[in-house]
Each structure stands twice: as structure tokens, then as C-alpha cells.
Amino acid sequence: MKITEILKKEHIIADLNLDSKNGVLNEFSEFLKKKGAIENKEALFEALIQREKLGSTGIGENVAIPHAKLDNIDTIITLFARSKKGIEFESLDKKPVHFFCLVIAPANSTGLHLKVLARISKLLKSSSLRDAILNATAVDQIFTILTEEDSKFDNGKAIYL
């Protein structure tokens, strides 16, 4: 799986300027509704809130991977966002989050959903990648940084979504 199979350039937010977890999750829901990727922003927001109640998706090292499953979608939907100032997200290491990768999977998805979460987690472990994204000046640059780093992985088998 390549990141380009699951992330569209138009689903990148280069400068997220919010100050709360709920604000971030609401912004993601509204953004994807405006882009036509989802039909019901309230359903997505509620699914994300319910998932966060199980434990924060702030995995540490300034990274959060909020995720949920939704009815009425038939493919994985992702969104990447950067916050230069960082946002309190109840992360495991208590650090503010600068890098968000939202993953929404169809309600009946199991294996693919987990593969996507693992791929994103692996990609965002790179401190040099995170530094480059933090210093990027535009969406195009962020997308290029992500795809170039992703191409370094040898696990590049295609997944047909």
C-alpha cells in the first residue's frame, strides 16, 4: 500500500489553527463534508468522539491518528493536517499534537482499516519527516514530503480499494 492510494492532496490542511480536541474533530468532519467525501458530518463527529472516549488517539511524538468507522462509505477516507503551534489532544506522552492523520473506514472494514493505521503510524515515526512537514510552506510541499518518505518503504504492494 502506498500513501497515495489513501490520501488525496485536496484532503490536506496545511495550517490547522484550533485549540481543542473537539474543535479539531469538528473541523475534520466539516472539511470532509465540504469536500463531498462524506454525507453526514454529525455522524462522523460523533463516531470520532466515541472513539476518543475509549482512549486518546494521540499516539505521542506530536502525532495523532483519530479514526472511526462509518456506514454509508465504501472506501477508506483519510485527511492529513498540520498545526504549527500544536494542539492539546490528551496524547499518551502529554505533548501537543502537530500532525494529524484522520482515517475513516467503512463500517464492515477490518483488515484494511488496520493496515492503513499501521502504515500511517510507521510513516509518521520518522522525526526527519515530521521536521520537514513542520517547515513546509504549502499543501503541495507537505504532500510531496509524505509521498517521498512513503516511497522509501519496501512494502509497496498495491491495495485495490
Q: What is the pLDDT along the chain (161 residues), one digit of tens a residue?
A: 788 889 999 999 999 999 899 999 999 999 999 999 999 999 999 999 999 999 999 999 999 999 999 998 999 999 999 999 999 999 999 999 999 999 999 998 878 888 888 889 989 999 999 999 999 999 999 999 999 998 887 544 443 33
pLDDT of residue 110: 77
Give the chain's count of helices (H) and strands (E): 5, 6
Q: What is the pLDDT of residue 154?
A: 55
Residues with Cβ within 8 Å of residue 113, at least 6 apart in sequence: 67, 69, 76, 103, 105
pLDDT at 86: 95
Rounded to two decimals, what is the model's pTM?
A: 0.91
Q: Which amino acid, 70?
A: L
Q: How far apart are CA 149 and CA 123, in angstroms?
A: 7
Radius of gyration of the chain (CA): 14
Active site residues: 67
Please count the other Cβ atoms lying within 10 Å of the Cβ belonging to residue 102: 26
